[in-house]
Structure 1
């Protein structure tokens, strides 16, 4: 069978940095083909070349057996290649109909609206959006439905090769199911789908073939039917990895590091109570909109309308107050590291002392000797390469940015309550392994960690205690080893009867 897309010996350098080095792979019609690799493996550069945003230094690209030169995104689309990026480009105040046709150069100035509406509806039905009206405002759709709308926009342009960059990074489990159901329908219609993802479960459960990239080159490719998780991880990291998740706590819980009683946030959380044990990781499970994320923001003092009671290490602290939470040694790591986690334009070292200025100040001035000492200590705690402390955070990978966000919340010599929303969102598997090890080490020195995650595998693999939520309320609580994935899904979708 002739490949729908064939990349042959493509290379690209940016100055002294070799982003792609003789990379090759091919994707067949009627297949979902995953491309995996750590941050910096060359995946984004490859997508840029395929879309005509980046010009390769060497190599060639063939579509349906014909070698093509792709000079810009418009030409890529005219050749049948479309990209749905991780960041949505929906115009929220326009209708679904307008979003589908927006920017399509083939639409004439005097167009036939009836024909275009019929064509748009046809595409919507092809990806399972039958219940959505073309007149609905795009901003009223769920994030998952907006992601499908992005795909519909590409299909209306007669795309045959669909590139998707981390399409499920911000979606709930239900929304992920919608997206993959649509992709499977497109695969069955003969479309070629190239999926960039860090979620290995998606690769093994949904994709037909996987290619692993490392250091700018393709290093391995295989049908997913012949792959298991340890094999895939080993090829991605270039070294054996016996277990992605470090051994957790299975014994009886010790004293609570955090107690939350009757926590409520109007419209989001209602009467939530739980105890998080010292030295353990407590995972809060719930779909997007369940109130899990909002509950943790409230505990950290970021919702001023929060009511209820909370105590850390036996000391009560006031909800709805960031200073009160900090005084109680409760620290928060946001799911949005770019907006709330790190200062992107500051150096990594500057980020590390920005929240703990008292540790680096002498006589009212910042002491460089203390800065280096403090930064080195925190970097070591989160497995961050100290040689990169002078790099600006905007130039770091997502995994390294997340390590800095976590390190900012660590207080050397003290045990804290660490609150985290989506601790590894947009982080590659190698950095995930480092972060998981870091969290377990923090538990070993007495930290209490409470996290909310929509990644079911992460939730089960990392949590010692799991609290399930549905529509703002607690459903159940389980200890490690007591609960299955199916049981959790029943709780968070309220399908237990």
Structure 2
């Protein structure tokens, strides 16, 4: 007989941190065999709710229930015993261990001599659910593609009898082909009666894979609804509390002269022969799946790849290959897809981050002026749309969208022209902040820059790009300008699918 209670439930939970109320009387439930999206801007309360459901934090009031029975978790170990599994955006796979070792690593139920036939059989069953059953169990996890590691992470939780999977941005770093494999695995989990809580900033995925959606805003519950009963615009409005308006701002009526010329760019093992140009005021997007060479090409233009061949010209002047100094001298600036690693200084104040790349503007003879730092940082704040009241805050205290604004702001100069290179410009950024980033990119173009970006988000590519260059396994496939840019055509090129091309 089916249970009358949801498998996992939060009833009227509340949580505060100091003076900040992170959750305000929120109720939430997920049924057996359901994929439920959990949506909201950064700061909406999603992470806090997940930490309550998994035992990281305890609610100040209200309760967590499993199968209708109250639970008082003291640690994540308690929630894991109830079959609740959390898969973080930062995967915990150990690359130097085998698939089998990764599946059972850290599981309390495994004896010291654990290589028993039963555990091997159970591992194979879990791998079959996620579509990795063709891989030998002794395969080193470090040899797997990113998408396969994500699937392995899900398989290890399935092998441990998880009943509820909480997935935080599971597709953020995956190619379109890998996303399809992950979605296929999630559907098989749903068919087996497992429940999935799916957290994503890519709203198209909510409509692709989820049955229901819960929306939080400012720590409060906004709605529970069936995905089939709403459209994207309604979901965005529920998340923001206001109409979004136009997500992708219109380009300027006409572009200026040629700023960047790329001819015969080659990177051994990554890019075969890439040729294109970018004009002032344009957004040019290199579109391809992970492994297509698009990201490496953008880094090469910035001078960050040393075994590159071909010609890079800025305003007609050729730049030496693999020279960061020459690129900076030509006002070519790069914004990384990994803000935490090489985009900003997370533990330093916003003020310091904004002027760190512009010390020549705030000092003389090796000495910096506090007044100049203050004036410069405030000017950059105004330019990129950061609240000046946050200048003394540490960068890691800001949302992903504001961190990305820091990364862009510190890259801009006062020169009348320039090249801004961006890899995955809105990775980890919520829907409201995405619209702000897109508007900022257009303002940068209006100042005389051209932008060359790489993105694996096809919707973003089609919405922002004035010119799209498609790549597949290092080869340039197509080049499209508005109004000939379409999602179906881009998808056909980057997946090299003849049938999709015919449909386009």
* TM-score, structure 1 normalization: 0.97
Instruction: Please report how far the alpha carbon of residue 253 of structure 1 lies from its aligned counterpart in structure 2 after TM superposition.
Output: 5.0
Instruction: Please report how far the alpha carbon of residue 386 of structure 1 lies from its aligned counterpart in structure 2 after TM superposition.
Output: 1.0
Q: 1:287 aligns with which of 286, 289, 298?
A: 289
Within-5 A mapping of 1:67-146: 67-111=70-114, 113-146=116-149
Residue 386 (structure 1) aligns with: 388
Mapped to 2, the partners of 1:209 and 1:489 lie a distance apart of 27
Residue 174 of structure 2 is aligned to residue 171 of structure 1 = yes
Aligned residues: 496
Q: 1:418 aligns with which of 417, 420, 428?
A: 420
Q: 2:202 aligns with which of 199, 203, 218?
A: 199
Mapped to 2, the partners of 1:140 and 1:362 lie a distance apart of 50
Within-5 A mapping of 1:469-488: 469-488=471-490
Q: 1:260 aligns with which of 259, 262, 279?
A: 262
Instruction: Please report how far the alpha carbon of residue 363 of structure 1 lies from its aligned counterpart in structure 2 after TM superposition.
Output: 4.9
Mapped to 2, the partners of 1:437 and 1:68 lie a distance apart of 46
- Contact kept? 2:94, 2:102, Cα under 8 Å: yes
3-state secondary structure, aligned to 1:332: strand
Residue 33 of structure 2 is aligned to residue 43 of structure 1 = no
Mapped to 2, the partners of 1:240 and 1:122 lie a distance apart of 46
Mapped to 2, the partners of 1:293 and 1:429 lie a distance apart of 23
Gaps of 5+ in 1: none
Instruction: Please report how far the alpha carbon of residue 315 of structure 1 lies from its aligned counterpart in structure 2 after TM superposition.
Output: 2.3
Mapped to 2, the partners of 1:24 and 1:411 lie a distance apart of 48
- Contact kept? 2:280, 2:417, Cα under 8 Å: no
* TM-score, structure 2 normalization: 0.96
**Mean CA deviation greater in 216-225 or 356-365:** 356-365
Q: 2:437 aligns with which of 435, 438, 443?
A: 435
Gaps of 5+ in 2: 500-504
Residue 235 (structure 1) aligns with: 238
Runs of 4+ with >3 A deviation: 251-254
3-state secondary structure, aligned to 1:116: helix
- Contact kept? 1:378, 1:412, Cα under 8 Å: no
Residue 69 of structure 2 is aligned to residue 66 of structure 1 = yes
- Contact kept? 2:292, 2:472, Cα under 8 Å: yes
Mapped to 2, the partners of 1:35 and 1:481 lie a distance apart of 35
Residue 31 (structure 1) aligns with: 34
Mapped to 1, the partners of 2:112 and 2:138 lie a distance apart of 20
3-state secondary structure, aligned to 1:33: strand
Query: Root-mean-square deviation (CA), in Å?
Result: 1.4
Mapped to 2, the partners of 1:3 and 1:331 lie a distance apart of 51
Q: 2:368 aligns with which of 357, 366, 369?
A: 366
